[in-house]
Amino acid sequence: MPTKAYLLTVSMLTGLFLLSACTPRIELTMPNEPITINLNVKIDHEIRIKVDKEIDDLFDEDSGLF
């Protein structure tokens, strides 16, 4: 019949073995190809100004507004 110390040792070794199987593993690797950021952006703006004849006369150089 196994002794108490022997059973305690075996159970501790079994517990350590089971706990060591659950250790997390973190692995950092470099990607095989470079990281590319593709920005397909088209900025297009258009400003349309329609000036009535009366407003055009207000902004005339002789009007003295500016």
Q: Using CA atoms, how far apart are residues 12 and 6, in angstroms rounded to an integer?
A: 10
Please, which contacts does 51-57 make with residues 24 or more away whose CB atoms are closer than 8 Å? none
Does pLDDT of 5 surpass 60?
A: yes
pTM, entire model: 0.32
- The ranges assigned to domains in the chain are 40-66
Does pLDDT of 1 surpass 70?
A: no
Instruction: Give the number of other Cβ atoms within 10 Å of residue 42's Cβ.
Output: 4
7 in Cβ contact with 13 (< 8 Å): no
Does pLDDT of 42 surpass 80?
A: yes
Does pLDDT of 33 surpass 80?
A: yes
Confidence class for position 52, pLDDT limits 50, 70, 90:
confident
DSSP 12-43: HHHHHHHHHTT---------SS----------
Q: Which one has a higher pLDDT value, 37 or 25?
A: 37
